[in-house]
Amino acid sequence: MIGNRRTNDPEGVRRRIVDTAFDAFVRQGYIATGMLEIREKASVSGGAMAHHFPAKRELGLAVIRDRVSQAVQQTWIEPLDRCIDAPAAIDLIFGDIIGELAHKGSVSGCPLNNMAMDVSPHDLEMRLALGDIFAAWHEALSAKFQADLASGRASDINPGSLATLVIAIYSGAMAMAKARQDVGALVESRAELAALLAPKYHPVTSAG
Amino acid sequence: MIGNRRTNDPEGVRRRIVDTAFDAFVRQGYIATGMLEIREKASVSGGAMAHHFPAKRELGLAVIRDRVSQAVQQTWIEPLDRCIDAPAAIDLIFGDIIGELAHKGSVSGCPLNNMAMDVSPHDLEMRLALGDIFAAWHEALSAKFQADLASGRASDINPGSLATLVIAIYSGAMAMAKARQDVGALVESRAELAALLAPKYHPVTSAG
DNA sequence: TTTAAAACAGGATGATTGACCTGTTGGGAG
DNA sequence: CTCCCAACAGGTCAATCATCCTGTTTTAAA
């Protein structure tokens, strides 16, 4: 007769756990975050936690597959689909992130990159799951550059390696911003990135 | 009468600890590495460890100031001084890293970036120490671009923001390489970086 | 030679970690 | 209404963590 009421809302409890874990993993890191801390912040009992996620690994996998992937989807892939070309989308995305971080005050970094950095060396399955998200990101960017090429909007670019470069710039600039707690690196990288893409777009059609 | 012989070599013991810690911190991360693990790998007793580094923080600081900073110095700043211009140095550095990683088999990432990612959110002093290294790196790159500009070797570049871009590309490509355990991102980024710097260098001197 | 302090050895310590266990309650199938 | 299992509560567990302690040996200064 320990007898306390309980909520009995499996989907809600699970969502609360994953949401809390995602936030903590991104801000402090996967390894630095304890199960107890997640339980307390999510107001979930040990029994409920063990029921939904018997091991920390599975919670990590769930966060990667359910949250990190959709974070990349929302902040990168969907804007790419909506914008007229790749440079426009990239500039919009950088601008949104800079504005968000500037008014939020602190920089927690790119969720995908943060997770990849401290999880990759320790868990093969998580590394592969994160690799899939990188691949989807790269594919979306690459396809957009390819489309710009096909439509004549751009010329003289290699979609695949250019997509890799853009991802590297974003990830690296985010890492610098996080390390220095300053959006300056993102601002400068955005400007440089726009400048290096510009000459490849709207090629001068034999001006006289 | 516990009585065992001991080495009594303060500088050597300290160096072994810091070397071992640097290797472990870069490969598995600062938080994921335990003091016991470092002690065992360095063959150092608990007493010696406590004498040289009473707290883990101080070992982290020592690794950052004594090893991470010199790693950046050796792999980036010195080659910059030796090469004729920035693009030559950058291409050389990327090539060296790619070759080294390719023949080593595994990618552990950029020491500075690795340390910054999992330490920055938790310790202000370490974050500032890492920020100083980033600043020195940026300053060296920026100065080289500035010199190239002054010597007429390059034109139409912004040394400061271009240096930030190069650091972001390197850090980001390293992170991708680590996450996917593949040097492809470094290879592609090197090519793209060379291609974007080329038109700014050796400007066509009124060919006809 | 005496002596104080640095350099070490070999544990011990409490706190925290991830995992798990027993018991209880809810909801849905029959 | 009955029965069964998912859903949950609350506490326990061994392992590991960073830290610190007592004692011994070396070094160097006086």
Q: pLDDT per residue over B177-198, tens digit each?
A: 999 999 999 999 999 999 999 9
The alpha-carbon gap from A3 to the nearest alpha carbon of chain B, in Å, equals: 39
Q: A32: which chain B residues are within 8 Å (Cβ-Cβ)?
A: 31, 118, 121-122
Q: Measured in angstroms, what separates residue B41's CA from nucleotide C4's C1'?
A: 33
Q: What is the pLDDT of residues B54-112, one digit of tens each?
A: 999 999 999 999 999 999 999 999 999 999 999 999 999 999 999 999 899 999 999 99
Look at residue A141 and tell me whether its pLDDT is greater than 80.
Answer: yes
Q: How far is the CA of B98 from the C1' of D19 (A)?
A: 41
Read off the amino acid at residue A33. Answer: T
**pTM (two decimals):** 0.94
According to the model, what pLDDT value does residue A157 have?
97
Ramachandran sector of residue B35 (left: φ over 0; alpha: ψ -120 to 50; beta: rest): alpha
Q: Which of A110-124, B2-16, B127-141 is the least confident region?
A: B2-16
CA A175 to chain CA centroid, nearest Å = 12
Helix axes A124-150, B159-180, angle to 10 degrees: 130
Cα–Cα distance between B6 and B92 in angstroms, integer? 45
In our burial notation (b when 16+ CB lie closer than 10 A, e otherwise), range A48-81 reads bbeebbeebeebbbbbbbebbbebbeebbbebbe
d(CA B145, CA B163): 8
| Separation in Å: C14 C1' and A60 CA | 29
Tell me if A141 sits within 8 A of B144, measured CB to CB.
no
Q: What share of chain A has pLDDT > 70, as a percent?
A: 94
CB B11 within 8 A of CB B18: no
Query: How far apart are the C-alpha atoms of B60 and B48, rounded to whole Å?
Result: 17
- Assess whether pLDDT exceeds 60 at residue A53: yes
pLDDT in tens, A34-52: 999 999 999 999 999 999 9
Write down which residues 53-82 in A have CB closer than 7 A to strand D.
none
B179 touches chain A (CB under 8 A): yes
Give the torsion through C-alpha atoms of A165, B182, A119, A189, to 10 deg: -10
Within 7 Å: CB of B3 and strand D?
yes
For testing the chain B interface, which of A90, A142, A164, A186 should be mutated: the one with the most B CBs within 10 Å?
A164
- Judge whether residue B204 has pLDDT over 70: no
A48: three-class secondary structure by DSSP? helix
Provide the pLDDT for residue A202: 81
* A191 neighbourhood in chain B, CB within 8 Å: 158, 161
